[in-house]
């Protein structure tokens, strides 16, 4: 009787918005295969280890990141994706504003760096495919969830909110139409705070009513 063996890894896609660019966290691999190539933070899942706990362990050890919200993305089959053999990967993705991502570098971390999705280096394994899939999922989630809250500061202007959508979707949105649609969703409320720009007049600051993942009753 033939018996097949395969290994299981986990890879994590962390998106953030910095200087009006959507970026992803990459590390430089320390070992073969693809030594010194850029890749998503990832590693093998240990025996009897839950995949999510493995992902959090890998993030902390290789990318120096902890205390971050993640959700499962997809399981990519093993055939042809890893030169070491039939290795499947359980992927996760996370969203966070840059100010909440505190990278704690150590001897174990592998040069964690944020790269613009428009200027990605050559990537190891099938990680470009994984990032593309994660971006597709993120864009889809904008339509039926409040997920954008994860990429914004606690207080933000309406312009910052629209810029986040435009950055993720990679296209311009009509300002009036965007404001009208978003207000109807009842996701945010105005505050007594204002943003005082150097060259612009003070702008009203808003905050999300709930900062928990929620599906919308109306589609954006």
Residues of the chain by 3-state class (helix, strand, coil), percent to 5: 30, 30, 40
Q: By three-state DSSP, how is residue 73 classified?
A: strand
C-alpha to C-alpha distances, 141 to 8, 93, 157, 169, 216, nearest whole angstrom? 27, 12, 21, 11, 10
- Phi, then psi, of 45 in degrees rounded to 5: -85, 130
Rg (CA), the chain: 19
How far is 77 from 8, CA to CA, in rounded Å? 10
Annotated active-site residue 108? The verdict is yes
Catalytic residue among 20, 99, 108, 143: 108
Q: List residues with catalytic annotation.
A: 108
């Amino acid at each position: 009787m033939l018996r097949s063996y395969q290994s299981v890894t986990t890879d994590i896609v962390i998106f953030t918005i910095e200087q009006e660019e959507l970026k992803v966290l990459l590390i430089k691999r320390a070992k073969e295969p693809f030594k010194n190539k850029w890749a998503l933070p990832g590693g093998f899942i240990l025996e009897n280890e839950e995949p999510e706990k493995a992902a959090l362990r890998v993030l902390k050890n290789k990318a120096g990141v902890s205390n971050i919200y993640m959700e499962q993305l997809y399981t990519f089959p093993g055939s042809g994706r890893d030169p070491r053999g039939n290795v499947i990967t359980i992927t996760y993705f996370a969203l966070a504003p840059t100010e909440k991502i505190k990278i704690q570098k150590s001897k174990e971390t592998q040069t964690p760096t944020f790269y613009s999705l428009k200027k990605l280096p050559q990537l190891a394994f099938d990680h470009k495919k994984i990032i593309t899939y994660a971006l597709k999922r993120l864009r889809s989630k904008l339509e039926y969830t409040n997920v954008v809250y994860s990429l914004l500061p606690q207080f933000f202007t309406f312009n910052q909110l629209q810029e986040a959508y435009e950055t993720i979707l990679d296209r311009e949105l009509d300002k009036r139409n965007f404001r009208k649609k978003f207000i109807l969703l009842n996701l945010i409320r105005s505050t007594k705070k204002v943003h005082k720009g150097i060259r612009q007049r003070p702008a009203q600051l808003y905050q999300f009513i709930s900062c928990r993942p929620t599906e919308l009753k109306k589609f954006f």
